[in-house]
Amino acid sequence: MSLRDQPSPQSVSTATAGGPHGSRPAVGLGRQLLRRKPLGQMLHEAETGSGGRKLVRSFGVFQLTMISVGATLGTGILVILGDSVPLAGPAVFISFLIAGIAALLSAVSYAEMAGMVPAAGSSYSYTYVTLGEGMAWICGWCLVLEYAVSVAAVSVGAGQYINESLAAFGWALPDAISQPPGAGGLLNLPAMAIVLLSMVLLIRGAKESAWVNTAIVIVKIAILLFFCAIAFSAFSIGNLSPLMPMGAAGVSAAASRVFFSYIGFDAASTAGEEAKNPQRDLPRAIMLSMIIVTTLYVLVAVAAVGAREWTWFDGTQAALVQILLEVTHQPWIALVFSVGAVLAIASIVLTVLYGQTRILMSMSRDGLVPKIFGRISEKRGTPVAGTLIVGIVVALTAGLVPLGALADATSIGTLFAFALVNIAVIYLRRNRPELKRSYKVAFYPVTPILGALMCIYLMVNLGGHTWVVFLAWMMVGLLAYFGYGRRHSKVAALSEDEYQELSTRSIETDSAPSEDTNTVKAP
């Protein structure tokens, strides 16, 4: 079915029906959990929007790449490097490589799916069209953990760098207002302020937010290169020995933790309904961002552990600023870097918060979360109400919860969602080989299988406490699904005849293109 050949009005109205209090699903629980959302219907909704209003298509490949880089670059280096080096020793750069390879294996699967399903729901949407409503809900619930909690986790680190900036003037924020409870304070006000400012910017409009993010990303790359130039001037090969003082287990444990540093690359896929040419530009943006981020992470990690012994990092906050101070003895250099680091953290908060609101918008469109998250403002062209709700909840989380608990919980939810995307690629290759793919994963099926296995391996390496948090989060998700999503699901409300009619229609492609002209091949 071409996008011009939309489902009948009767089918569409039925699919989007649902009273204010929900309706009884047309099928039993088992069949509902396995019902896949028709792919043509998903694209139709992306083109028509929510309630007759749709998002504005204003992003090209450059803006999409900057969204992905903005959401990814800096987290592990600026915030959790001090926690990772004591686990891996000087081999922390190997941990970044391992996590980067795991992320890259999933990134190529994301690229293929983003080219086929240019909707705003990221891996939630991909899972819905392949594995059914049950797994889609689980994936979406994991994405809430990934996006919203990672915003809180990253913004928690802002207080450290704001204090480093103020230190140049002999000032410091008291712990009571710069640290959360459990870390010596009452409320992390800098973290809350960054989230709320990002929320206000997102409400103003996606295009304006994208340009602000692009400017900040350029500053972020510049300060990391600036750090490398200074740190390499103090590089000592002796600091890399012993390379793995904690053994391979320590390197693996650190890889599981620093995987948190890569979780933003899929933010570009949440912009599927705001991209000018999503089938072409989304895969390119995802792959370009992964190359940029991995290169810079490894470069900065090598520079940092080469400049200082690995034991020095234990308990050190804002480690990169401390290295600059000790190498140059110039407070103004630390001030410049700290200001840049705060901007870098703001960029991550802005882009990841953006992704969260778009995923909830997609889930709302399907009836699985309340309608308010999918309501698009006619004036702003953005989901204003959903952005306000998410922003306030995340700000409170950032102000009250310590970083360590947030980072580990985020990683496990992300890894689970990534594994599902790899499985989705395999499913669609086997069951829908006729669909247009603007990007194809190389070495199929080895690549997506390795991607899924690598995600599972990193999940296993996370601590028992993290698993307890994850399972508790899943239990809350199940209660939310049975309390609201099951009764309001629009796909479940379709009669069997309507569902079969929509499912038998395929998305077309204008004509099946030849791989050498229209398909972007994996490197």
User: What average pLDDT does the structure give for the chain?
Assistant: 79
CB under 8 Å, gap of 24 or more: what pairs does 287-290 form?
Answer: 287/107, 287/108, 287/111, 287/523, 288/61, 288/65, 288/68, 289/65, 289/68, 289/69, 289/72, 289/265, 290/100, 290/103, 290/104, 290/107, 290/262, 290/265
Cis peptide before 283 (omega within 30 of 0): no
**CB-based contacts of 438: which residues, under 8 Å, 6+ apart?**
115, 116, 279, 280, 283, 518, 519, 520
How confident is the model at residue 53, as a pLDDT? 63
**Residue 321 banded pLDDT, cuts 50, 70, 90:** confident
Average pLDDT over residues 446-469: 86
Residue with more model confidence, 331 or 95 = 95
| 53: β partners | 50
pLDDT single digits (tens) 374-411:
888 777 777 888 899 999 988 888 888 765 555 666 77
The least confident of 42-46, 114-118, 298-302, 322-326 is 42-46
Distance CA(178)–CA(39), nearest Å, equals: 47
Residue with more model confidence, 181 or 93 = 93
Any idea how long the chain is? 523
Residue 173 and residue 166 in contact, taking contact as beta carbons nearer than 8 Å: yes
The least confident of 134-138, 245-249, 430-434, 500-504 is 500-504
- Residue 26 in this model has a pLDDT that exceeds 90: no
Q: Among 373, 491, 359, 338, which Cα is nearest to 413's?
A: 359
**CB-based contacts of 386: which residues, under 8 Å, 6+ apart?**
357, 360, 361, 364, 372, 373, 374, 375
- One-letter amino acid at 345 equals I
How confident is the model at residue 516, as a pLDDT? 38
Q: Which two structure tokens, joined as six digits, stand for 339?
A: 């200001």
Class of domain 53-491: mainly alpha
**Residue 509 banded pLDDT, cuts 50, 70, 90:** very low
Share of the chain above pLDDT 70, in %: 84
How confident is the model at residue 24, as a pLDDT? 66
Q: Which two structure tokens, joined as six digits, stand for 374?
A: 């999918």
How confident is the model at residue 60, as a pLDDT? 84
Distance CA(348)–CA(490), nearest Å, equals: 33
How far is residue 508 from each of residues 6, 259, 424, 491, measured CA to CA in Å?
A: 11, 36, 19, 21
pLDDT single digits (tens) 191-233:
888 889 888 888 887 677 778 888 888 988 998 999 999 999 9
- Residue 71 in this model has a pLDDT that exceeds 90: no
Residue with more model confidence, 464 or 288 = 288
**CB-based contacts of 166: which residues, under 8 Å, 6+ apart?**
172, 173
Residue 318 and residue 161 in contact, taking contact as beta carbons nearer than 8 Å: yes
Domain ranges of the chain: 53-491
**Residue 10 banded pLDDT, cuts 50, 70, 90:** very low
Distance CA(78)–CA(301), nearest Å, equals: 11
Angle between helices 403-431 and 123-130 (to 10 degrees): 40
* SS3 at position 489: coil
- Residue 17 in this model has a pLDDT that exceeds 50: no
**CB-based contacts of 460: which residues, under 8 Å, 6+ apart?**
none
Which of 116-125, 337-346, 403-412, 485-494 is the most confident on average? 485-494
Q: Which two structure tokens, joined as six digits, stand for 317?
A: 């906050």
Q: Which two structure tokens, joined as six digits, stand for 240?
A: 């890399």
Residue 6 and residue 39 in contact, taking contact as beta carbons nearer than 8 Å: no
pLDDT single digits (tens) 280-294:
888 888 888 888 988
Q: Could you tell me the pTM of the whole model?
A: 0.76
Residue 91 and residue 357 in contact, taking contact as beta carbons nearer than 8 Å: no
**CB-based contacts of 497: which residues, under 8 Å, 6+ apart?**
none
Distance CA(116)–CA(126), nearest Å, equals: 9
- For residue 88, count CB atoms less than 10 angstroms from its CB and return exposed for 0-12, middle for 13-18, buried for 19 or more: buried
Residue 15 and residue 502 in contact, taking contact as beta carbons nearer than 8 Å: yes
Distance of CA 68 to the CA centre of its chain: 8
Distance CA(253)–CA(255), nearest Å, equals: 5
Residue 261 and residue 71 in contact, taking contact as beta carbons nearer than 8 Å: no
**Residue 70 banded pLDDT, cuts 50, 70, 90:** confident
pLDDT single digits (tens) 254-305:
887 787 777 777 777 777 677 788 778 888 888 888 889 888 988 999 999 9
**CB-based contacts of 81: which residues, under 8 Å, 6+ apart?**
92, 301, 304, 313, 319, 320
How far is residue 325 from each of residues 43, 75, 236, 338, 393, measured CA to CA in Å?
A: 53, 21, 17, 11, 36
Q: Which two structure tokens, joined as six digits, stand for 250?
A: 């320590």
